[in-house]
Amino acid sequence: DAGITQSPRHKVTETGTPVTLRCHQTENHRYMYWYRQDPGHGLRLIHYSYGVKDTDKGEVSDGYSVSRSKTEDFLLTLESATSSQTSVYFCAISEPGEDTEAFFGQGTRLTVV
Amino acid sequence: LAKTTQPISMDSYEGQEVNITCSHNNIATNDYITWYQQFPSQGPRFIIQGYKTKVTNEVASLFIPADRKSSTLSLPRVSLSDTAVYYCHPRDDKIIFGKGTRLHILP
């Protein structure tokens, strides 16, 4: 399995508090991604990074920010968590190219109460 | 970005061949077509990828017609453990998925 670690794996937080999820890789892949997954919606891209300090928005970026200060870490921050951000969050990594595959982490289950 | 359309769900029986078709009318010239499988409570994992014609590996086959506007994932002789959600994805940097096909294998 690709070396991707998401932390924490589970978190319960209160509405209005900031939350940071971490994705750590040991594969030295250039691209990193954050998704959320909710029943009936499949996987939706939040933000992605195509290099250190290079990030871009995905489909559902409102309410989320990201940072990538080094190759191996990609942080997802909810500045002020809301109940609508209760979800399962997945991180993924890949190399650039039309024929490369993405590797996914095990997910973080976040509950905002 | 190419938008994908897949059946929302499919049922099949153990031992049968299952074909899941995905349409991607606006696929870019250089995009490969990639399929992923996702089990409950796990992240998706890569199954197979192709550019045109037919690709086969130990898990599945992928059929892509000449116009590349669709692709068909073929799972031979499915078992209960093939119950999962299957996503197709024309490979681009953003990796945006559709809602996938929920495949349910019955005994």
Q: Which of A45, A90, A98 sits opposite B94 (nearest CB)?
A: A45
**Distance from C-alpha of B65 to C-alpha of B93, rounded to nearest angstrom:** 23
Residues of A in Cβ contact (< 8 Å) with B85: 42
Chain segment B52-91, per-residue pLDDT in tens? 999 999 999 999 999 999 999 999 999 999 999 999 988 8
Q: How far is B3 from chain A (nearest CA, A)?
A: 13
Closest by alpha carbon to B37, among B65, B15, B62, B13? B62
Cβ of B85 and A101 within 8 Å? no
Chain segment A87-110, per-residue pLDDT in tens? 999 999 999 877 788 999 999 999
Task: Decide: residue A4, CB within 10 A, 0-12 exposed, 13-18 middle, 19+ buried.
Answer: buried
**3-state SS class at B90:** strand
Q: What is the pLDDT of residue B67?
A: 94
Nearest C-alpha in B relative to A89: B43
Chain segment B11-55, per-residue pLDDT in tens? 999 999 999 999 998 888 888 999 999 998 899 999 999 999 999
